[in-house]
Amino acid sequence: MNSLSLSRRQFLSLTFATSIALTGCSAEPTPPPTYTAPRWPAGKRAAVAFTFDWETAMGGLVHSRSVGDPNVDEDYLVRAQRMREGVATTRAIFAPHGVRATYYATGYNFLMGNRERRRFMGDPTFTWATPEHGWLSERWATTPWFADDPFGTVESHPEWYFGDLVAPLLADGHEIQSHTFSHMHGGLADLTTWQQDLETWNSVAAERGVAPATSIAFPWSSSAGMSDNTWTLLEQAGITSVTRMSNQTQYSLWEHAANGLVLDPCCRWLPGREGRILAYPDFYLIPRHEELALEQLEQIIAVGGIIDLWAHTEEVVSAEQMATWQRIVTHVANDERLWVAPLGEITAWLQSVG
């Protein structure tokens, strides 16, 4: 720990204490979060989770936003097809090494179709999905969020439903966690919407034999603006870890070097949720970051930390991106200093050791 990061955390605790005071709760200043490098299992020196944001057309694709989406200008059905293909390519990369990953899924990922025309979450319209908040038009602020459901099946509309991909992922030992049911903006959605989203995700996941979520990857890194009451809801729903946290300066829990390296890459207790919700530092693993990823791995070993290496499944289908993932997965699997496990399992282990 250097003095810079300590002062950074003190600043953050002040920022969070202030935001709590503004929402009307009693505000004892939160003490700065502390971190002691854990004793990782089996003498390992650091931990790595490989994770994906994984969504059908009904996720952030048909609802695309110009902020926080690297492929916003591409056809959403083509992207959805790549999201599907990326499951096969990543499974093939992990299998020879016995590496198990975490796939953060939206709700339609669990459906085999929707011929019965089910409506979810009370068929909401998200009035906050405006150009002011980064959407490309007013459409999603005035149209029910699930309106474009083609009411087909995995055979007729494979871009919209990924229910057939769940069993193969589970059979390989991978973990499936929540990217929210609706792929909503975490900081803009109200309490009722969050409640419905958490319940609906767990209920459709159960239809495919997937356990209730304990971890969330925020769509569009949208943790900024989450209220204290919303965090309480997540905690009550059994969420013990979060990733894809906002990188806006006033909300970010980590400092980054100019080249993007996460400095002091360790889990942090979410301020105000010490001992209950862990936030993970993540690193976007794409070809131009490959060298930096190796440096990041040395850095986590140096501090006894952890990194969540992630991409969208849609990205790991090009030859170049697959080669990058292949090399990094091989590197991590062969480095005896590293413990690689699904993010939820790492969280459970960290909580068990305090």
Site residues (CB under 5 A) for Zn ion? Answer: 53, 60, 219
On the 0-12 / 13-18 / 19+ scale of CB atoms within 10 A, 132 is exposed
Would you mind telling me the total number of residues written for the chain in this entry? 354
CB of 219 to Zn ion, least distance (A): 5
Nearer to Zn ion by Cβ, of 218 and 325: the residue is 218
**CB-CB contact of 60 with 108 (8 Å):** no
CB of 28 to Zn ion, least distance (A): 35
Q: Where are the alpha helices (DSSP H) in the chain?
A: 3-22, 76-94, 139-142, 166-171, 191-207, 228-236, 290-303, 319-334, 343-352
CB of 129 to Zn ion, least distance (A): 14
Nearer to Zn ion by Cβ, of 35 and 128: the residue is 128
Strands 278-279 and 241-243: parallel
Residue nearest to Zn ion (CB): 60
Nearer to Zn ion by Cβ, of 62 and 332: the residue is 62
CB of 289 to Zn ion, least distance (A): 19
Nearer to Zn ion by Cβ, of 83 and 262: the residue is 83
CB of 64 to Zn ion, least distance (A): 10
CB of 53 to Zn ion, least distance (A): 4
Nearer to Zn ion by Cβ, of 55 and 175: the residue is 55
Nearer to Zn ion by Cβ, of 159 and 264: the residue is 159
Give me the DSSP letters along 139-158: HHHHS-TTTT----BTTT-T
CB of 62 to Zn ion, least distance (A): 12
Instruction: Give 258's contacts (C-beta < 8 A, 6+ positions apart).
Output: none
Q: CA-CA distance, 302 to 304, in Å (whole number)? A: 6
**CB-CB contact of 243 with 215 (8 Å):** yes
Nearer to Zn ion by Cβ, of 72 and 233: the residue is 72
Strands 268-269 and 278-279: antiparallel
343's tokens = 């993010």
Nearer to Zn ion by Cβ, of 61 and 329: the residue is 61
CB of 312 to Zn ion, least distance (A): 7
- Largest pairwise CA distance in the chain: 59
Nearer to Zn ion by Cβ, of 38 and 219: the residue is 219
Angle of helix 228-236 versus helix 191-207 axis, rounded to 10 = 20
CB of 140 to Zn ion, least distance (A): 15
On the 0-12 / 13-18 / 19+ scale of CB atoms within 10 A, 42 is exposed
Q: CA-CA distance, 121 to 114, in Å (whole number)? A: 15
Whole-Å CA distances, 87 to 51, 119, 166, 350: 12, 27, 10, 28
**CB atoms closer than 10 angstroms to residue 333:** 16
